[in-house]
Structure 1
Amino acid sequence: MEVFSHSKTPILFVVFLATFITLALGQGTRVGFYQTTCPRVETVVRASVQSAVRSDPTIAPGLLRMFFHDCFVNGCDASILIDGPSSEKIALPNSQLRGFDVIDAAKRQLEATCPGVVSCADILALAARDSVVLTGGTSWPVPTGRRDGLVSQASDTVNLPAFNDPVSIQIRKFTDKNLNTQDLVALSGAHTIGTAACVLFRYRLYNFNNTNGPDPTIDQAFLPQLRTLCPDGGDATRRVGLDTGSVNNFDNSYFANLRSGRGVLESDAALWSNPTTQRLVQRFLGLRGLLGLTFNVEFGR
């Protein structure tokens, strides 16, 4: 699909996320899959997400992150929702995921009207789309018809992208999922909403690489702000916006912050330090006059 944008809130990476949500091509998915068997499915899911986000805006990035973590392991099969002593849900990278109750609420309502019809995998895909829309992103049609996975192992989460991965490792992890470097940068743009705990980046502020000083790539005007929010020895669980100044808006300011040395996570900041990913960040910023990109992404091909 080709996308054009001339506004300060371009839809380039929004549509990439839309493509990400349609990853189950070849598994019988199509738009309107439940048209006759459960025609209100999207209405029910949207209402559940709206209610939750209205009460707590942080649920939106939580659902989006949950969907990414689900898809990146064994495909978009809702295995992230399975309970168990060794399931994906209890793995360290998933320990702070939020929004499970939103999926459960939508599932209960759908089971009351369409018992045994709608998969949790489809509910999660729709909820992720609605989370983007509710934070200012553009909507898109989501093909449905996914089947729920039956296997969920915490050990399978080992290759999820980490907060301190250098670009080379990030590229390798995405390549292993048949995703390229452009996909990596675009999907990192989901950090335009949401927060990170101080424990995940505070080392950059005080003793980066055992230098007793900060990461030199951090904007010097931004450093005092981060240190105030995450003082050395302070509350490690305190959360800070990943997209400074626009934490609840799905826009492209995340990429602008990378350019300005205001990426919070080391893995995000590294995207500007690496020449290959920097060029892609610039494209999403429109610095080279790019008007459109074509995305065609699938897992497991």
Structure 2
Amino acid sequence: MLSKRQLRRVATWAVDSPNLLARQVNRAYHTRAFNREFNHDGVSVVDEDWDTLIVLDACRYDLFEERHDLPGTLSARESRAAHTSEFILGNFHERDLTDTVYVTASPILERGYQHKYDPSFHAVVNVWQEDGWDDEYNTVLPETMAEYALETAERYPNKRLIVHFMQPHYPFVGSGLALDKETVPDPEEIETDVWHEMMRERASITREEITEAYHRNFDVVQPHVRELLDELSGKSVVTSDHGNMLGERARPIPIREWGHPDGVYTPELVTVPWLEYESGPRREVVAEAPIDETEGDDAVEDDVVTERLRNLGYAE
């Protein structure tokens, strides 16, 4: 069932953008009339065999296959998610993960603690807080993530490690495109990110320009993934939480879809890379009680989380 807020959105979409209204119909189709909160056909990543799981946010399989030059064996997997919130809910919610430390550039987990997620990690390192956030690019840069990941691996040598990079997810680092100026800054707008501007067909950038910027964002993160593969001992897996639509046709209503809307499980959104690489001895993993481990202030102000999410293209 749709909430009152969602119903208001649908009414607005019907006037503002038929594409957004059609997306809601497609979402109902994929989630079986909104009865599924994530893609149940996807792999449970925490049940797979790895010492380090490197997550590249919004990285499509075909992009990874075409542009990567990393060591290891690559295959395709089906994700449980078309959105990071679904990835967290489908893989981490109510799971005993006290043998795992989560190092993340994304504020999605922090927002979810207040609403619907209940994971039990041994520790969480929120790199997106003040000292890890880059104000110029409005994201966490991949070199910062790699630095935090290596420090965390040294600090917790007997834990599994999840390293959640932001790239190739928007914003596009160093693209030269003023994509943020294509969005609507009015907080009263229903959606404000660049993908919804593309859905509304009112962004001035072309499909080719935004695709190239997205591809280059993968090139930006790849050297730092290689650094982790070189430095971290054991079995590492490089994957993604979900893919990204770049104007391909969705289904069952064949609108051109952009971004990564939750509840829309097209191949472009749920087919993700799964690169396995082993180097050196495996980690001896031990589960221990959760600790209060945050970088920066212990308490994260809600408006800070909201601002970070908007910077990353997530509409409230």
Q: TM-score, normalised by structure 1?
A: 0.29
Higher helix share: 1
Question: TM-score normalised to the size of structure 2?
Answer: 0.28
- The one of the two structures with greater contact order (alpha-carbon pairs below 8 A, sep at least 6) is 2
* Larger strand percent: 2
